[in-house]
Amino acid sequence: MSGVGLLIVSHSRKLAEGVRELAEQVAQGRVPIAAVGGTADGSLGTNADDIRVAAEQLASASVDGVAVLLDMGSAVMSTELALEGFGTPHRICNAPLVEGAIVAAVEASIGSDLAATAAAAEGASQLRKVAVA
Amino acid sequence: MTTTDADADADAAEARLTVSHPAGLHLRPAALFVQTASRFASEIRARNLSRDNSPDVNAKSILGVMQVAVSQGDQLLVRAHGADAVEAIAALTALVAGNFGDAS
């Protein structure tokens, strides 16, 4: 499978898997999505080794690029560490996790490249939840 | 309720589509709309006729389609321009008229 894959990183494994569940609903099976979160003992946190394993799973699905959606704080540092030397083009999106992942999933599902997928995810920060009076 | 007009110009087509899905054009319906539009080469634009100042957006952009904020009962103007414009409008009309396959 070519195209862009998504890597979801959260401090919480449940949150990461929930975001993947939402993104998969709109991706219609066309986008490889990996979710990773929590520490080895199941508590909240991020682990660079686990993130690298998830990234490699996407690479073995033969994606051309990986768009990373993450929550905040040390998830960024752990992901940067995890992806040092990772051979597949990738980008950490400066995007809200939920909206960004959904928008990226749709964008990737229509064959957009990594730059366009990441740009769309980053544009998700402008979406309004309710109409402004 | 839908109406479709094939323009005299064979490369252009448009339709006014009433979205009856309870969720409007959000999340999965919006994704399906964008995925359907993207199957065609024509340029496709969408605008919400039921809202003042609705932007005219690229129907192949999920961000764009989410920005038109289509709620249940709103009327959407979809216009296509290109070699497969008529087919594109037919497919989008079928998607909306078929209530997105009842996707929620």
Cβ distance of B35 and A120 shorter than 8 Å = no
Pick B38's closest partner by Cβ from A103, A110, A131.
A110
Instruction: Determine whether B90 is exposed, middle or buried from the number of CB atoms within 10 Å of its CB (0-12, 13-18, 19+).
Output: middle
Contacts of A119 in chain B (CB under 8 A): none
Specify whether the CB–CB gap between A37 and A97 falls below 8 A: no
Whether A133 is in a domain gets the answer no
Residue B12: CATH number of its domain: 3.30.1340.10
Residue A29 Cα, gap to closest chain B Cα (Å)? 12
Residue A60 scores a pLDDT above 90: yes
If one counts the domains in chain B, the total is 1
Host domain of residue B10:
2-102
Host domain of residue A86:
4-126
Please confirm, yes or no, whether B21 is among the known catalytic residues: no
Whether A37 is in a domain gets the answer yes
If one counts the domains in chain A, the total is 1
Whether A131 is in a domain gets the answer no
Whether A132 is in a domain gets the answer no
pLDDT band at B8 (very low <50, low <70, confident <90, very high): low
pLDDT band at A95 (very low <50, low <70, confident <90, very high): very high
Task: State the Cα torsion A51-A19-B35-A58 to the nearest 10°.
Answer: 20
pLDDT digits (tens, 9 = 90+) for A117-133: 999 999 999 887 776 65
ipTM: 0.87
Whether A59 is in a domain gets the answer yes
